Structure 1
Amino acid sequence: MNRTDRLLAIVLTLQSRKSLRAEDLAAEFETSVRTIYRDMQALSEAGVPVVGAPGTGYSLMEGYFLPPVSFTSEEAVALLIGTDFIGRYFDDRYGSCAETSRRKIEAILPENIRTEAGKVRATIRLLSESREDATGEYASLGKLRLAVLQQRKVRLRYIRIAPGTHGEQRSDRIVLPYGLMLVQGKWMLLGYCELRREIRHFRVSRITDLTLLDEKFHLPDDFDLQAYSPPDDRNQVVIVQASLAIADHLKDTGNFYLDRIEEQEDRLLLTLRVRKPEDVLSWIMSYGANMNVLEPAVLRERVREEAKKILEHY
């Protein structure tokens, strides 16, 4: 890193932190403490309000910010696509902020960078469910985001589709919202359910009658949303024989319960791990005669029963 780049990096680093010692800066930029002293002198002479305090280190005078930095076309595209993503997948408040952020970014870009970024951006398209089709989900998302930030309990009605059936199960819950996750384009609420007495996942699109309660809660000290991994309770094994004709489709689409695909001479042997056999009933039947359940016997019988119903219907 040359000196000019290092001086800029030092200012950006000090902007993001309260204070740093010369030794810390020297270690971060892989240089000597004496060089850092000279850099600080150069910044002061250039008009950057660097404040040094014995025992504390260097900091920037409160309220000082660098003027807008320059972006390459690739960096500009990354930022603009980020605003597009937030505008599509977040609630109205963040969607509005994303729009104003996009305008500000475009306003400070040189014309040649803005033009080049526009060309690249035109070749990328984000597809998602329209806001008109998901009005309730976006409304719930805004409330849930507020509940997470304020650590307030919520009351909700959750609609669950029972595996292997077309019926809906509705239940009223009190939930301590720990965080929100975007999983394959679908928003999920992660929180402690007082009814089930454990951490559960709720698809936001299936939440209705959402109410923020005044009652507060404390997030567990050992909970980290970024590191959280749900316990794997798929303890039952399902073995399915599948036609080679659907091999590519299976590999492309996958399935949450699919544990292993073994390619044999004239067929595929699928091993699935499920909570209960009905979890994969609809998925197996969607492939028709291209799938044949080998075990367990109870699932083979369920497939046979459903096939008879279809035959009787037609």
Structure 2
Amino acid sequence: MNKTERLLSIVMELQRSKLQTADELAEVLGVSVRTIYRDMQALSEAGVPVIGETGLGYSLMEGYFLPPISFTTEEAVSLLLGAEFIEKRFDPTYRNSARSSRRKIEAILSRPIREETTRIQGSIRLLQKDEMAVMVREKINLGIIREAMLEGKKIRFTYHKRVAEADGNRVNVRTVSPYGLAHDEQNGWLLLAFCDLREDIRHFRVSRISDLTVTEDTFQTPDNFNLESYRPKDTRSIRVCVIFNPDITDKVEEANNYYMETAESKEDGYHVTFRVREPEELLSWMLGWGADVVVTEPESFKNRIREEIEKMKERY
């Protein structure tokens, strides 16, 4: 990166974030802090309104923006694919905004870049499942949750758990303070929220939420909560050990079950260990492999598998 590119990158970083220290800029750009000091002087002499606050960092004068910039083909494809993902997986408000953004990006591309970008996009496809009722509900819920977060209001909903709780109930009503949303490849959209019932942060799959309403009760996200760095407590304490038919090892690896902890190929099969809160969480998944899997422990789960197989035999 030459000096001109570096100066442009510094201005773009300052536009993106209100305040940046010399150390942060140096790390992002891969240069020394001394170089950043020299670049700041060069920007000031060039008329860029850089404000240096002792002990805090650098910022741009309010209202200063760079004129429109050009994109490389790779940058344009990245932005357009990102916009397409948002169109397919977010609620209607963001979907419409993503579509509008995509049109604006395409409008400022030069003809050669636009043609090359169109060609590359034609060879990349983001597959999407059919608009099943559960996906439609998920998108509607996303919009309501997002608005509640912006307004700082609690939400109330009926939650449908996959596994019944100790009292045998799979459905209950929760009132929560929505802290953030996260997207997981296996589980889809997850709501991270402080649950009034559990008095702790809990995760809820958005697709399992129904009867969602925004309450008049307000909340404030704690200062020490950071969605980017937050890591949930791992309460999975039960080990489940199984042996798969070695002929389907590749299929098991491809399935990439969330609870899988260790895996090893041995002479008698593919040995896999899972760690779960309740073995019941694996019941349907295990049964799906039929005779190609054997549960070795715990004994209680082996018995549970037998019980379910007996019930299945009665139906046939």
- TM-score category of the 2 structures, normalised to the smaller one: 0.7 to 0.9
Matched residue SS, 1:31: helix
Matched residue SS, 2:119: helix
The one of 196, 199, 212 aligned to 1:197: 199
Partner of 1:291: 293
Distance in 2, Cα, partners of 1:23 & 1:278: 50
* Residue identity opposite 1:202 in structure 2: F
* Residue identity opposite 1:214 in structure 2: E
Tell me if structure 2 keeps the 8 A contact 1:154–1:213: yes
> Cα deviations across residues 283-304 of structure 1 (Å, max 9, x unaligned)?
1111111111122221111211
Distance in 1, Cα, partners of 2:18 & 2:9: 15
Deviation at 1:168, TM superposition (A): 7.8
Deviation at 1:174, TM superposition (A): 0.7
Deviation at 1:58, TM superposition (A): 7.8
**Percent of pairs with identical residues:** 44
- What are the ranges of 5 or more consecutive residues in structure 2 without an aligned counterpart? none
Matches of residues 147-158 of structure 1 in structure 2 within 5 Å?
A: 147-158=148-159
> Cα deviations across residues 112-133 of structure 1 (Å, max 9, x unaligned)?
0001011111111112234564
Deviation at 1:146, TM superposition (A): 1.2
The yes-or-no answer on 1:237 pairing with 2:239 is yes
Matched residue SS, 1:311: helix
User: Is the alpha carbon distance of 1:57 and 1:158 closer, same or farther for their aligned partners in structure 2, counting shifts above 3 Å?
Assistant: closer
- The structure with the largest alpha-carbon Rg is 1
Partner of 2:44: 40
User: Is the alpha carbon distance of 1:231 and 1:24 closer, same or farther for their aligned partners in structure 2, counting shifts above 3 Å?
Assistant: closer
Matches of residues 1-314 of structure 1 in structure 2 within 5 Å?
A: 1-16=1-16, 30-31=34-35, 36-41=40-45, 43-44=46-47, 50=49, 62-131=62-131, 133=133, 134-162=135-163, 169-184=170-185, 186-314=188-316
Segment of structure 1 superposing worse, 269-278 or 12-21: 12-21
TM-score (norm 2): 0.86
Distance in 1, Cα, partners of 2:175 & 2:304: 35
Segment of structure 1 superposing worse, 136-145 or 265-274: 265-274
Tell me if structure 1 keeps the 8 A contact 2:23–2:33: no
Tell me if structure 2 keeps the 8 A contact 1:163–1:282: no
User: Is the alpha carbon distance of 1:108 and 1:204 closer, same or farther for their aligned partners in structure 2, counting shifts above 3 Å?
Assistant: same
Segment of structure 1 superposing worse, 173-182 or 53-62: 53-62
Matched residue SS, 1:127: coil
Segment of structure 1 superposing worse, 216-225 or 94-103: 216-225
TM-score (norm 1): 0.86
Tell me if structure 2 keeps the 8 A contact 1:152–1:215: yes
Deviation at 1:181, TM superposition (A): 0.9
Tell me if structure 2 keeps the 8 A contact 1:158–1:207: yes
Distance in 1, Cα, partners of 2:292 & 2:23: 66
Distance in 1, Cα, partners of 2:53 & 2:91: 46
Segment of structure 1 superposing worse, 52-61 or 71-80: 52-61
* Residue identity opposite 2:9 in structure 1: A
> Cα deviations across residues 16-63 of structure 1 (Å, max 9, x unaligned)?
45678999989867538566545533x23xxx5x37789799865543
Distance in 2, Cα, partners of 1:183 & 1:24: 29
Distance in 2, Cα, partners of 1:105 & 1:3: 27
* Residue identity opposite 2:144 in structure 1: K
* Residue identity opposite 1:91 in structure 2: D
> Cα deviations across residues 230-276 of structure 1 (Å, max 9, x unaligned)?
11111112221221011111111121222111211131222222212
Q: How many residues align structurally?
A: 307
- What are the ranges of 5 or more consecutive residues in structure 1 without an aligned counterpart? none
Tell me if structure 2 keeps the 8 A contact 1:234–1:274: yes
Distance in 1, Cα, partners of 2:287 & 2:44: 69
Deviation at 1:195, TM superposition (A): 1.6
User: Is the alpha carbon distance of 1:180 and 1:11 closer, same or farther for their aligned partners in structure 2, counting shifts above 3 Å?
Assistant: closer
Distance in 1, Cα, partners of 2:292 & 2:244: 6
Tell me if structure 1 keeps the 8 A contact 2:14–2:20: yes
